[in-house]
Structure 1
Amino acid sequence: MTIAQQEKTTVPHGFELSMTSGLQRYSVQHGELTLTSVFQPIFSLSHMRAVGYEGLLRAHDPFDRAVSPVDVFGHAARVGDVLHVDRLAQSLHLENFKVLGAEREWLFLNVHPGVLIDSYHSAALLANLRRLNLSPRRIVLEVLEQSAEDIERLADAVRQFRERGFLIALDDFGAGHSNIERIWQLNPDIVKLDRIMLSHAAHRADVASILPGLVALLHEAGKLVLIEGVETEHEAHMAMECNVDFVQGFFFGRPHPGLADAAHAAACIGELTERYQTQTEQRERRNASRLAPYIRAFERAAERLAAGELLDEVCWNFLALDHAARCYLLDDKGRQAGRNVVLRADRASHETRFLPLSDAQGANWLRRPYFRAAIEAPERVHVTRPYLSINEAVPCVTLSVATQIGSRMCVLCGDIDWFEEPHF
């Protein structure tokens, strides 16, 4: 089918319009297969509604048995027809999206990198949009997770599509070729976290703790973040905890020929938000209770230090608590005066693997948030968020307080080992 034919005809040749459960839907024959579209909604957790739909291919054989899209594209790849099938799927999704009745939502289109690079296929996509009177700003091109032989050509093609108004999404981030390097190369607007990352995080606390930082990193890079494959309430809470922008998955909405149920989506996300708020408040209360004895002992240590007692003498009550790790003193420039004060012998033996870091005398902690917070608001105990301690490469929380010792301002610090229980 030529571009001229596409622009002159109302519907691409071979497409048929039918009614399914009261919904209009286009289909097309490809060999012995009947191809059509369904749409999986993509929700904004903040807006509590669908903001887009991903077009997904559905195929049936002559006996009306479902054929996996993976098999359809797998066979196309084996016979060298993958770009044609990819473009056929795009045309089908565009036709069905037009009759879907979505007024402002995006259409997420999976696009093989070769389609973007190939001038004929890219021109056909633009011609289809003109014929259907769909603005490029309504289309999010999902660059599939596949190796591109010429990444520079792909990056240039992506740039040209963005200049025309399209949004670009990097699909399956964290799997195969879709990694952090692709972000710098393709500069997408949206990054879709692969389902496998969520699956691993749901079963491993260490992986779960990484996800919020990864989302924060992507946000700092100027990318909106979508997490896909959210199938359970547990995973939905993880997505909310990670501060992602968009979610997609069976928990929120299954692929369907029609629009998402707006009332159901708002109720689902609203209930999820309420449970998340309740869990967050409960966790904050648990943490406050957990920290209380450490803060009391630390405040007493600071009082004794300000009264002229030695650091080695004032920290014992704090260090005697179960998860207290060390105390140390900084001057007003962030430089550590003296060594770490450690109470238990088992702590010293545990640190032997990190022996090059054990002597912190003279180290400068000016960059650390606990130092800056203490200097900015003296005489008050500050508590950091959990972070990775350089001393033993374990999570910790640091208490800090700036206090006057004689004629100089110093900052007393105390580290607490902080292994959080899973809270999703």
Structure 2
Amino acid sequence: MITEQQEKTALAPHGFDLSVTSGLQRYSAQHGELTLTSVFQPVFSLSHMRAIGYEGLLRAHDALDRPVSPIDVFGEAARVGEVLQVDRLAQGLHLENFSLLGAEREWLFLNVHPGTLIEPYHAAALLANLNRLGLPPRRIVLEVLEADATDLDALAHAVDAFRERGFLIALDDFGAGHVDIGRVWQLNPDIVKLDRIMLMHAAHRADMAATLPALVSLLHEAGKLVLIEGVETEQEAQLALSCNADFVQGFFFARPAPGLADSSHAQVIIAEATDRFREQTEARERGTASRLAPYIRAFERAAERLGAGETLEEVCWNFLALDHAARCFLLDANGRQAGRNVVLRVDRAEQGARFLPLDDAQGANWLRRPYFRAALVAPGRVHVTSPYLSINEALPCVTLSMAVQVGDRLCVLCGDVDWLAELLA
């Protein structure tokens, strides 16, 4: 627990030097032979099309004015046991320089070592700095990245205490190393930052590109805002848009700089990327509708014949004769499958043999499936699901469904289409 006296006394004289470069005032500090200062990388809201925050980043130069990587600065500090002191120095610099920017409502994203949050003296120094500069905690997003030796219970307790004071909490580098979904539950952040490595994988692998929106959706359902960092290319910007991320940062939108972002330039960049996303989405939807059209026509005809009294096996042949049609099946009004799957293609046998325990679906209950519920809501209309993983073969598919009156019973006719094959067609 941080006492009032600790908060008043923990801030040591900072010894920062104020200089003016290109008309911009900013503080620097000496650490051994290194000169340290701050730059700020904007964090943009894709919906607001403007910067809603700035991440403070350390910049270091040696005695000959050669740049030194921040990784090397903190690496050397860790080697000599001074990592918390350097972390505190960097925080102080970022706070001082942020106070000079003139940002009126934007957040400061501040990287903090777990020890800064856990140890009362260092936490008090952070609070004292804010108090002296007149920055309320609600303006600060503490970016937390667990260290190898972090006591997670102690860190979670400290994070709760800072949140109660009004700070926002971000979990940094999600998806890199061992920072996983379990940390989201333990630390309960307000914002989750997806590491650039996830974007890089998604840019080169279709399965990862399809997974990223689901991950963002999962985090949203858990009550977390999502920030994708390291966006450097047009393709990566489109991925961020397509997965419904809330915030982005990266060279594509703006590079780190000593001052505020050029708001007009940022708005143009985001607006142009959004327009391209809309065009690509509309083109993809037209292509999807075109590919599905023959399946829908065949499926409508099958439903019509089923309602007229023909058997399931008789009505499905035209649908199943299409290249990527997988199976037909019939559900009762409670979602229970009547009879086995109707399958035409013999080339499915080898794949199906690997999932033989799932082959007989007679009596299976598909009540939970969206295609069943959608069909009942609007009978007589073909409904098409979004692509999902079929339980039959663990392959992507879409399901067509329609509620049909068969005699005195309401049934739901269903047909699966292999979607990965459709996408590659």
CA distance in 2 between partners of 1:177 and 1:369 (Å): 34
Following TM superposition, by how much is the alpha carbon of 1:350 offset from its aligned partner in structure 2, in angstroms?
1.8
Q: Deviations over 1:174-198 (max 9, x none)?
A: 1123211111111000000011011
Who is 2:189 aligned against?
188
Who is 1:309 aligned against?
310
Structure 1 gap ranges (5+): none
CA distance in 2 between partners of 1:146 and 1:169 (Å): 15
Following TM superposition, by how much is the alpha carbon of 1:148 offset from its aligned partner in structure 2, in angstroms?
4.4
Following TM superposition, by how much is the alpha carbon of 1:294 offset from its aligned partner in structure 2, in angstroms?
0.2
Identity %: 77
Following TM superposition, by how much is the alpha carbon of 1:344 offset from its aligned partner in structure 2, in angstroms?
1.2
Corresponding position: 1:374 with 2:375: yes
Structure 2 gap ranges (5+): 1-5
Q: Deviations over 1:74-128 (max 9, x none)?
A: 0000000000000000000000000011110000000000110000000000000
Q: Deviations over 1:331-383 (max 9, x none)?
A: 11100000000001111222110000010000000000100111111111111
Q: Deviations over 1:34-54 (max 9, x none)?
A: 000000000000000000000
Q: Deviations over 1:224-277 (max 9, x none)?
A: 000000000000000000000000000001000000000001111011111111
TM-score after normalising by structure 1:
0.97
Q: Tell me if the contact between 2:52 and 2:106 (Cα under 8 Å) persists in the aligned partners.
A: yes
CA distance in 2 between partners of 1:48 and 1:421 (Å): 32
Q: Deviations over 1:195-235 (max 9, x none)?
A: 10111111111111110000000000000000000000000
Q: Tell me if the contact between 1:41 and 1:253 (Cα under 8 Å) persists in the aligned partners.
A: yes
Who is 2:98 aligned against?
97
CA distance in 1 between partners of 2:232 and 2:198 (Å): 13
Between 137-146 and 61-70, the greater mean CA deviation after superposition: 137-146
Q: Tell me if the contact between 1:342 and 1:348 (Cα under 8 Å) persists in the aligned partners.
A: no
CA distance in 2 between partners of 1:177 and 1:144 (Å): 11
CA distance in 2 between partners of 1:111 and 1:410 (Å): 58
Who is 1:133 aligned against?
134
Who is 2:419 aligned against?
418
Q: Deviations over 1:138-159 (max 9, x none)?
A: 0000002423432111101000
CA distance in 2 between partners of 1:113 and 1:224 (Å): 21
CA distance in 2 between partners of 1:33 and 1:413 (Å): 68
Instruction: Tell me the matched-pair count.
Output: 418
Who is 2:365 aligned against?
364
Who is 1:262 aligned against?
263
Q: Describe the SS at the equivalent of 1:178.
A: coil
Q: Tell me if the contact between 2:10 and 2:121 (Cα under 8 Å) persists in the aligned partners.
A: no
Q: Deviations over 1:270-317 (max 9, x none)?
A: 111111111111110000000000000000001111111111111010
Q: Describe the SS at the equivalent of 1:283.
A: helix
Who is 2:272 aligned against?
271
Go from structure 1 to structure 2 and tell me whether the alpha carbon gap of 1:309 and 1:134 turns closer, same or farther (over 3 Å shift): same
Who is 1:293 aligned against?
294
Who is 2:143 aligned against?
142
Q: Describe the SS at the equivalent of 2:257.
A: coil
TM-score after normalising by structure 2:
0.96
Following TM superposition, by how much is the alpha carbon of 1:20 offset from its aligned partner in structure 2, in angstroms?
1.3
Which amino acid in the other structure matches residue 186 of structure 2?
Q
CA RMSD of aligned residues (A): 1.3
CA distance in 1 between partners of 2:216 and 2:14 (Å): 44
Following TM superposition, by how much is the alpha carbon of 1:3 offset from its aligned partner in structure 2, in angstroms?
6.2
CA distance in 1 between partners of 2:350 and 2:198 (Å): 35
Following TM superposition, by how much is the alpha carbon of 1:22 offset from its aligned partner in structure 2, in angstroms?
1.4
